[in-house]
């Protein structure tokens, strides 16, 4: 399983959680991302239920050929177990 490092940051309760969406093409992650300012905005923009988005965010598990993170990927080097 691949593991990616994300940038560190602190979330303050009551603030929107940003979502960074990365496309996966032929087992390659496109380093360009789409940033949504909140889970609600990402849900609408990606046409995914909020609950589904919550299940897949920050898991390194793709959904519809995309990865969803709350922080941008800092290092695209893969680590395989």
What would the pLDDT profile of 18-40 be if each residue is shown by its tens digit?
999 999 988 789 999 999 999 99
Nearest Cα neighbor of 32 from 77, 63, 76, 62 is 76
More confident residue, 3 or 18: 18
| Cβ atoms 23, 65 nearer than 8 A | yes
DSSP label of 15: S
pTM score: 0.76
What would the pLDDT profile of 53-69 be if each residue is shown by its tens digit?
999 999 999 999 999 99
pLDDT of residue 2: 53
pLDDT of residue 78: 59
pLDDT of residue 22: 96
């Amino acid at each position: 399983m691949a593991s990616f490092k994300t940038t560190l940051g602190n979330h303050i309760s009551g603030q929107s959680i940003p979502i960074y969406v990365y496309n996966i093409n032929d087992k390659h992650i496109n380093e360009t991302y789409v940033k949504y300012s909140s889970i609600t905005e990402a849900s609408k923009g990606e046409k995914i239920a909020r609950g589904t988005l919550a299940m897949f965010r920050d898991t390194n598990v793709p959904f519809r050929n995309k990865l969803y993170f709350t922080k941008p990927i800092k290092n695209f080097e893969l680590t395989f177990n």
